Structures are given as structure tokens and as C-alpha cells.
Structure 1
Amino acid sequence: MLGNAAGGDGRGRRALILVENLSVPFDRRVWQECTTLRDAGWEVHVICPRGEKRDREPEAVIDGVRIHRYPLRAATGGPAGYLREYGSALWHTVRLARKVGPVDVVHACNPPDLLFLPALWLKRRGARFVFDQHDLVPELYLSRFDRGQDLLYRAVCALERRTYRAADIVLATNESYRDVAVRRGGRRPEDVFVVRSAPAIDRFQPVPAEPGLKRGKPHLLCYLGVMGPQDGVDYALRALAKLRDELGRTDWHAVFVGAGDAFDAMVELSRRLGLSEQVQFTGRIPDADLVRYLSTADVCLSPDPRNPLNDVSTMNKVLEYMAMGRPIVSFDLKEARVSAGDAAVYAPADDEAEFAGLIALLLDDPEQRARMGKIGQERISGPLSWRNSQASLLAAYAAACRDHAPVSAGDQNREGKRPRR
């Protein structure tokens, strides 16, 4: 029904979604896109890496979506490691795309901005190219590696330009990204569609709080998300040390849920700050356990520092905190305010002392915490709901396929090329 209403009826059409950053269905945004397209009648294929502990099968059909996975070793050792990772991913992506065969739409999700290469190969065989820009890779490079605008920075800028140029349609995760696609990418505004990420509501249903998770303290603080160099877990830990040492607050236990290439360094920083008894690192945990922690948390933390990427990016953890009705302490970032509104309180960017002060303020005001939690849930069920993004996604696909007859497997020769008519 939604597909017809939005002009995105995909009956008789095939879509191939390319992902390199995460496995599917672990990548929640991509999985929501897959199921939305499936419900609109599309035959959906996904090519992605295998996960470390889940999504290990080389091939799977899950809820009607066909997933093709390849082995991939995550990058280590700086930029050179990423070049090795991406080279392997491209080879496997092309190999599996040949196996999938002809498609109407190839939908490439960055990072990296290299998936335009297999997308171009598929465009020559009749597909339309939808670029799903999850990250601004030039800003990601500046924020992660602190190398300035060097040769590699100029290279990733060039790859982004090539990707924009090759795409028929661009999907942006928020208005800031849309502005970049138009201003820096030279795309026509009518060819850029905002498809915001949104938490899966069925995954984030509050359960009764469990006081035992607070480890004998009155309050529980919670961080959820990736732990990379640009994610600010170090800022959160230093703020918690100030909360204890400068504000004299020891009435809390904190849990950090998630993993990433900075995980071990953050555990060590916690030890050096003398926080080991009050801060718990769980790593990745099952959804049921995640919901238990969030349902018990009094305050949730979004400590992303201001940098070229974070200021304009939508943080999934903020949306997930809101879905669970939790109040948030965040640094004052442009898109953080767009997402959370009054569901968060905002410390000046990168000011750990103010961040600690706002945690203390919320711990002392249960009524404000409840008001903020309700605001967050209302925003997630209203203007930030996946329903709105579904309509935008299907409108984008309708625009991509306008005046484009469906591709069928029988309309190809044995090399995967269209026969001449």
C-alpha cells in the first residue's frame, strides 16, 4: 500500500544494495530499507561482508531478502589498512554482483566512496544508481586521522565527487548531508532525498527497570554505540571523573555498551582515571540485554565531540535513547539539536566540566528526566518516525526508475549485457 501511495511500486523490479561497513541485517538502516522495498514489491538482494560473530552464512534468505556475504578483515594500521580492506571488498562485491545478475537499481551505501565502481559497471548493464550517503567521508577522514588536508584527503574528496557524478539519485541522512550533496556535489535538489535513520520501534520497547544493574548505586548512566577515535567515549570518561572528583558525586554506576577499534584504549583510560569500580564495559550485547540497561538508565550519554563530521551527522544512539524514553546529555552539535530537541540538554562543545554538571543536574531532577523522555518518544513516533523515511525512500526509487522499463533476467545475454535491438 505504501509503495503505491508513494509512487514506489516495485513489482517486477530487482534492487541490489551494496554495503561494506557492516553486515546485514545487523546494519539496521539498511535492513529497514530492504524490508521497505520488499513490502513495495521489489525483489531485494544485498551484498555485504560477513559479521564477526553474527551474519556469518555466505548466503541467506531472511524475510524474503536475499543476502550474499563475503569474508572481510577489518582495517588495522591506519589508512594503508583501509586500502587493503577496500580492495578486497570491491573484488568480492563485483564477483557477487555478477552472480546476482541484472538489476533495475544498484543502491550503494558508503563508506567507502569506492562503491561507485561496481555501480558504474551495473549502470552499463541497464541499472540506475542510487547513492545512499551514510557518512561524509572527507569529514570522516579529517575527524578520524587528524592528518589535515593531505594527499589522501584530496583523494577521498575526488572519490566523493566521482560518486556524486555517477549517481542518478542521492539519499541523504539529514538536511545537512542534503546541503552537501547540492552545494559540494553539484546535485540538483530534486535528485536528493532525505531518508533519515530511525530506530526499529519493535526492538526498543521499554521493560521494567532492574535496580540490580545499578551495582548498588542510586543512578545508572548509559552510553550506547561505536567506540572509535571520533566517538567521544574519552570525553565521557573524563567528564565522569570530573563528576566524581570536582562535583563529589559517587551516587552513580555507568555502563558503556558497544565495541570498536578504540575499545581497549577506553578500558585503559577508565583504569587510569580510577573509574574501574564505577564504569562497566560490556562490549556488544544481545538486544534483550541492551533494552534492560536502557530501561534502567536514568541518564544517557552522547559525548560526540565537535568535529567536521559529528557536527552535521545524525547519531543513531541519540535516536535509540529517545525511543526508550531516556533523557540525554549531549555536546551542542547542529544535528544533535535537530534530532533530540528538548529531549536533551546540551553542554558547550567539548566542555567536559559542563557535561559533568548537566549529568548532575538531571540526576537531581527526576521530573525533568521524565519530561525529556516523553518528548523523545513523541518525536520518534512523530516527525522522526521511519514511516516518513519510507515514503521518501520509495519516492527516490520512483524517481530513479522513471521512464525506465524493468530489467528481466531473460533480457540479458550470457555475459550479463543487454542484447542489441
Structure 2
Amino acid sequence: MRVLILVENLPVPFDRRVWQEACALRDAGHEVTVICPQMRGHTQAEEVLEGIQIYRHWISSEAGSLRGFIAEYASALWGELTCAFKAWRKGGFDVIHLCNPPDLLFLVALPFKLFGGVKVIFDVHDLWPEMFEAKFGKRGLMYWAVRLAERCTLALADVVIATNQSVLAAVKKRGRLSDDRAFVVRTAPNRMNTATPPDDSLRSGRKYLVGYVGVMGNADGVDYLLRAARHIVRTRGREDVQFLLMGAGPEHAALLALRDELGLQEHLSMPGRVSDEFLCRGLRTIDVGAACDPINAYNDHCTMNKVLEYMAFAKPIVMFGTVEGRFSAGDGAVYVMENSAEKLGDAILDLLDDEPRRRALAGAGHERLTRDLNWARSVEQLVLAYGKTGAKAPF
């Protein structure tokens, strides 16, 4: 089967979920092509990587406003459509796999379904309407346009897959999907070097290291962690705690400015986008992983990759108690049930000062990931979903 995967918000192989899906489909015997944006250090327009054809297109800067939102998605749609026609001319495809956000990629898939008989899989990473509301803080005409786009994508899709059960329940209800068209394919770390040696130089001479890894956008709550760090260092007077925040995004510069405004330059390192090798060293070194995505209708439905990565490295977690966050981490985390930087900071300190509890949480989280949430189970569901498309290879 010839598969075309479209992803707009991150490039491969940087997008770990999409890349793991592409590799799993390749390993299952399918011919896989991925279309993604040129960004985050992955700017080569065309390459073959690990047997997977990749096309990358130009995209405007990541949306931070309504105007930026329109520019980003207009440029993305044009780039995705151009690359899709290139892939069609080169050899065609039997299935087109749409990864959201946004839910606008049905516009790229539509001509191939109508005139080429291509099957469509909708891979719901996020509930885009909730994401839009969290990003812009209101419902209006654009919000309802986003809901319409989601509905159009669900109507076009032959099969829907989702990152967790709560996302699947929402899209099943909105799209009136039958059980045989809807599958959960959970994200789980699969290709990270958890045996990397720790690097104590990242502690900057301090006893404890608190880590964060992930995107830094206006919906990710990193400002809560910065203010929690200030509470720990200034209010609680703890000079023995260092913070390492790994990741980039549209809010990175503003968060750097906030760090400096809070006087945390010596206690808080923000290196931006880091290499896989640096990421693994950081995750091996930290004593506690922080997940500061605030509790809201959007984040309640999200499975956060950072939480699973902390679990893969057997690190205890302190996080706001989102619904899916609590499901993912299980007994591997301390949950703060209020969006409060001070309470987040206090919970981090309490855990740092309780080594037996840290060990217990780390062990429980790692066991849950390897036993219940491992990638092999997700691959089984992914392959099953593809079998339900009804697509037939032309050879």
C-alpha cells in the first residue's frame, strides 16, 4: 500500500509521533511518503530518510495572532497541496493520512479522494476547536469556522485515529462515527536512548535539577513554571535547585525575557531547541520532570509527550492535574489540582525533599509506560486501522 502522510505543525523526524507512525507503516510493508514544513532545523526540501520519502515546504512563521494564524495555514495548505501533486505524479498513493492540527488538510485530500479514489485517515493529535479557543481566549466566527473544518474532515475520513480515549470520544460524537471506523493509537517514546550517561554539569553546581521538555507556546503554561521557579528560589529561599527548560516555540523569546525580569538567569537555563543527544542527557540528569500545561478544556484532552518521556527515563513528575495527564502518568506523578505557580513550586520542593517518594513515583511511571502504554500496542492499532480503510495496493 502506498501511504502519504501530511503534517503541518512540525517537520519529520522532529515530530516523534508522526515519524514513529511512518516507520511502523514502513516496517509493515507499506511505501511511505511524508509531507511536512521546513522548520526547526529541518530545511532540506526533499530527501529519503530511513527508506521514507520526505517532501518539505516553506511555511510562514508560527501563528501567534489571528493574522498569523491565517498566514501560517494559507502558506501551509499551498505547500502541502503542491507537494501532494508532486508525490502523485511520482508514483501516486492509496491512502492519505492527515495529521492535525489544523483540521484544514481535508482541502488537500479532497481532490485525490474525489478523482483518484484515495482513502483518507484522519489522525487527531489535538481537538482543534478547543486548541483554538485556548490559544485566542474566545469563541467567535473563527471558532465556528474551525468547528466546521473539523466536521468536514471527519466527514471525508474513512477511518479516524486519536491519541487517547477522551479525544476519540469527542470526535466520535461530533462525527457520528461507528466503532469500526475509530481507533486509539497512543503516542509513546520508542526511539530515545534512555541509557545515555547523565551530565551533572547541567546542574550548575546545585544539588537538584528540575527539567521541562516541550513546545513553548501560549497554551503550554511555561510561564507557570518560571513563576514556580521564582517562588522556589526567592520566596522559599532555595539556592540548591537548578532548572533546565528544553524546547523552542513562538513564546520562547518572551519567556526568556520573563526569566530575566524575574531575576532567574543563574537558576534557569533555556537552551531552546536541543539535539536528541542533549535531550537524552538532560532527561537522564533531572531529578524531577515538570509538566505545567494548565487545566482547561483543551489540555484535559491532551496526552503530553513530555510526560511519557519523563516516564521513559524513569523520572518522577510534578504536573497540573489534567484529565489525560492523570491517566497517562497514573501513580508516577504528583498532581496539582489548581492552576497556581506557587502550588506547583511547593509540590516540586516537597518531592525534591522526599527521595523515597521520588524513587517510588519513578518506578511506577516507568512500569506503567512499559506495561500498559508501550508503542508496540499502538502499532497494532495503527495497522488495524489501515486494514479498515479498504484501500487496495495496485500491485
* CA distance in structure 2 between the partners assigned to 1:280 and 1:69 by the alignment: 31
Query: What is the SS of the residue equivalent to 1:213?
Result: helix
Matching of residue 159 in structure 1 with residue 146 in structure 2: no
Aligned length in residues:
391
* CA distance in structure 2 between the partners assigned to 1:83 and 1:407 by the alignment: 38
Matching of residue 85 in structure 1 with residue 72 in structure 2: yes
Describe the superposition over 1:223-242 as per-residue Cα deviations: whole angstroms up to 9, x where unpaired.
Answer: 11111001111111111112
Query: What is the SS of the residue equivalent to 1:184?
Result: helix
- Cα offset, 1:278, TM superposition: 0.7
8 Å contact kept, 2:331–2:364: yes
Give the aligned partner of residue 257 of structure 1: 246
* CA distance in structure 1 between the partners assigned to 2:128 and 2:320 by the alignment: 22
Describe the superposition over 1:295-345 as per-residue Cα deviations: whole angstroms up to 9, x where unpaired.
Answer: 111111101111221111000000001101111000111001110011100
Query: What is the SS of the residue equivalent to 2:265?
Result: coil
Give the aligned partner of residue 33 of structure 2: 45
- Cα offset, 1:77, TM superposition: 5.4
Tell me the TM-score normalised to structure 1 length.
Answer: 0.90
Q: 2:255 aligns with which of 262, 266, 289?
A: 266
Query: What is the SS of the residue equivalent to 1:217?
Result: coil
Matching of residue 135 in structure 1 with residue 122 in structure 2: no
8 Å contact kept, 2:95–2:120: yes
* CA distance in structure 1 between the partners assigned to 2:102 and 2:66 by the alignment: 12
8 Å contact kept, 1:348–1:354: no
Describe the superposition over 1:97-122 as per-residue Cα deviations: whole angstroms up to 9, x where unpaired.
Answer: 22222321110111111111121211
Q: 1:300 aligns with which of 261, 265, 289?
A: 289
Percent identity, aligned pairs only, is 44
Query: What is the SS of the residue equivalent to 2:225?
Result: helix
8 Å contact kept, 2:216–2:251: yes
- Cα offset, 1:250, TM superposition: 2.0
- Cα offset, 1:209, TM superposition: 2.9
- Cα offset, 1:79, TM superposition: 1.6
* CA distance in structure 2 between the partners assigned to 1:31 and 1:267 by the alignment: 30
* CA distance in structure 1 between the partners assigned to 2:40 and 2:273 by the alignment: 11
- Cα offset, 1:363, TM superposition: 0.9
Query: What is the SS of the residue equivalent to 2:388?
Result: helix
8 Å contact kept, 2:296–2:322: no
- Cα offset, 1:270, TM superposition: 1.3
Query: What is the SS of the residue equivalent to 2:226?
Result: helix
Give the aligned partner of residue 326 of structure 2: 337
Describe the superposition over 1:359-413 as per-residue Cα deviations: whole angstroms up to 9, x where unpaired.
Answer: 1111111121112112222122121100000000000000012xx43246xxxxx
* CA distance in structure 1 between the partners assigned to 2:55 and 2:382 by the alignment: 22
- Let me know the Cα RMSD of the aligned residues: 1.4
Q: 1:210 aligns with which of 199, 218, 221?
A: 199
In terms of mean alpha carbon deviation, does 266-275 or 390-399 score higher? 266-275
Tell me the TM-score normalised to structure 2 length.
Answer: 0.96
Q: 2:337 aligns with which of 341, 348, 368?
A: 348
8 Å contact kept, 1:231–1:304: yes
8 Å contact kept, 1:204–1:291: yes
Counterpart of 2:126, as a letter, is D
Describe the superposition over 1:64-110 as per-residue Cα deviations: whole angstroms up to 9, x where unpaired.
Answer: 11111112222355122221222222222222222222321110111
Describe the superposition over 1:113-141 as per-residue Cα deviations: whole angstroms up to 9, x where unpaired.
Answer: 11111212111211110000111111011
Give the aligned partner of residue 15 of structure 1: 3
Matching of residue 363 in structure 1 with residue 363 in structure 2: no
Unaligned runs of 5+ in 2: none
Segments of 4+ moved more than 4 angstroms:
none
Give the aligned partner of residue 113 of structure 1: 103
* CA distance in structure 2 between the partners assigned to 1:77 and 1:320 by the alignment: 27
Give the aligned partner of residue 164 of structure 2: 174
Query: What is the SS of the residue equivalent to 1:207?
Result: coil
* CA distance in structure 1 between the partners assigned to 2:271 and 2:195 by the alignment: 20
Correspondences of 1:281-296 after superposition (within 5 Å): 281-296=270-285
Give the aligned partner of residue 235 of structure 2: 246
Query: What is the SS of the residue equivalent to 1:88?
Result: helix
* CA distance in structure 1 between the partners assigned to 2:373 and 2:56 by the alignment: 31
Matching of residue 227 in structure 1 with residue 251 in structure 2: no
Counterpart of 1:142, as a letter, is E
